[in-house]
Amino acid sequence: MTIELRNLTKRFGSLTAVDAVDMEVGDGEVLCLLGPSGCGKTTTLRMIAGLEFATEGEVLLGGKRVNDLAPRDRNVAMSFQFYALYPSLSVADNLAYPLHAEKMSKSEIERRVAQVAKTLQLDGILHRTPSQLAEGEKQRVAVGRSIIRDPNCFLFDEPLSRLDVQLREEMRGEIKEVLQDLSRPTVIVTHDQLEALTMADRIAVMRDGRIEQVDTPHNVFARPANLFVAGFIGTPQMNLLPATLKGAQGQVATFAVAGDQEMTIEVDRKIATLAPGAQVTLGIRPRNIELSAEPVADGIASKIDIVEPMGAETLAHLNDGHHDLRLVTDWRVPLTEGDRLHVRFPPGATHVFAEDEQALRSAS
């Protein structure tokens, strides 16, 4: 079973909410739709479920076009951001509710309820009503009601958004473990990059209704396709510095940055396709920046504005006179606000984005 979207588009009057999305989710794969609020994630999910009809394009489930099928005829299971549990029913009855519509036997319903309850550790609370449950328990019941059927695919809309930080950490692992056993294509909508990075086999990053990049969590982080993905993925955010290319020889290029400062660093060999004078943006992760006591050719001078201890690490906010930089280093490294220092951009750690905001990268 697969989910395939072809040129999927949704317009509300003059507003294009989803713009020509092409995407495929493989059998047993978990794909996260990740992006800021209003970018079209939930609308895309609702079109897969049949709760919204596409203006253009196709939705295919298992290779079959389902655009004209009602939601119940698509055989998908969808879990919403709000749990939508029946307040007067017990946990067991909430879990069993979808099965009654399929006219299953009482013994089969009891078997499935027991199986799902064991998987999601709900065995001891089957007799309780939703008002007697903690938030994490309600979330597990909502997930259980989705997986108790045998649908073609699973769709989750912000499944953890109502939980506190500790419960989110617990539920991420639990849901991931459950999904690995289900062997169905799954789409999870989230604006939380940590959820996407930890739960997904692949991530589709959306902006303004379009897919900016679809790739593994590692590649989305380590090889962002453009400036938007580079700035959106990662905490703290990637440092992005406007620069002018002075010249390049092989993979070694010299850039003018921060007014009259220059630095010579090793970047992707595709830098050779740009002419001197080209305007670019340099990107480097805060944990990739290195400190130097002395001026270095592959770095720039900066001043420490703010120091934020984070336990095992320290986050420092620097300023080179024109731009703010974020540096994350070991907590034992002494950093004092107001100090001046030099930061290095080590070989191969810097991303280069051309004027069209696309990453300048050779095929690997």
CA–CA gap between residue 272 and residue 266 (Å, rounded): 12
Same fold yes or no, 3-232 and 239-353: no
CA–CA gap between residue 157 and residue 289 (Å, rounded): 36
Q: Are 80 and 157 in contact (CB under 8 A)?
A: yes
The pLDDT tens digits for 112-131 are: 999 888 888 888 999 999 99
Q: What's the whole-number mean pLDDT along residues 291-312? A: 93
CA–CA gap between residue 319 and residue 363 (Å, rounded): 34
Q: How many CB atoms lie within 10 A of CB 7?
A: 12
Q: Are 247 and 256 in contact (CB under 8 A)?
A: no
Higher pLDDT pick, 83 / 63: 63
Residue 161 in this model has a pLDDT that exceeds 90: no
Residue 259 in this model has a pLDDT that exceeds 90: no
Q: What's the whole-number mean pLDDT along residues 86-104? A: 90
Residues 6+ apart with CB under 8 A from 167: 135, 136, 139, 160
Q: How many CB atoms lie within 10 A of CB 322?
A: 12
What is the model's pLDDT at position 11? 97
Q: Are 58 and 219 in contact (CB under 8 A)?
A: no
Residues 6+ apart with CB under 8 A from 214: 23, 31, 202, 203, 204, 205
Q: What's the whole-number mean pLDDT along residues 233-254? A: 95
Residues 6+ apart with CB under 8 A from 306: 316, 317, 337
Q: Are 3 and 27 in contact (CB under 8 A)?
A: no
DSSP for residue 358: B
CA–CA gap between residue 9 and residue 241 (Å, rounded): 35
The whole model's pTM is what? 0.90
- Burial class of residue 183 (count of CB atoms within 10 Å of its CB; 0-12, 13-18, 19+): exposed
- Of 236, 145, 26, which is closest to residue 159 (Cα–Cα)? 145
Pick the CATH number of 239-353 from 1.20.1260.10, 3.40.50.1390, 3.40.50.720, 2.40.50.100: 2.40.50.100
Which strands form 261-266's sheet, in the order they lie side by side?
Answer: 261-266, 252-257, 239-249, 279-284, 351-353
The pLDDT tens digits for 15-68 are: 999 999 999 999 999 999 999 999 999 999 999 999 999 999 999 999 999 999
Residue ranges covered by each domain of the chain: 3-232, 239-353
Tokens of 64: 């079959």
Which position has the token pair 């996260």?
32
Pick the CATH number of 3-232 from 3.40.50.720, 3.30.43.10, 3.90.280.10, 3.40.50.300: 3.40.50.300
What is the model's pLDDT at position 176? 80
Q: Are 318 and 302 in contact (CB under 8 A)?
A: yes
CA–CA gap between residue 110 and residue 108 (Å, rounded): 5
H or E element, residue 195: helix 193-199
Q: Are 202 and 215 in contact (CB under 8 A)?
A: yes
Residue 364 in this model has a pLDDT that exceeds 70: no
Length of the chain: 364
- Burial class of residue 50 (count of CB atoms within 10 Å of its CB; 0-12, 13-18, 19+): buried
CA–CA gap between residue 79 and residue 237 (Å, rounded): 30
Tokens of 248: 């390049």
The whole-angstrom distance between residue 352's C-alpha and the CA centroid of its chain comes to 22
Which position has the token pair 């449950």?
133
Sign of the CA dihedral running 354, 356, 358, 360: negative
What is the model's pLDDT at position 134? 86
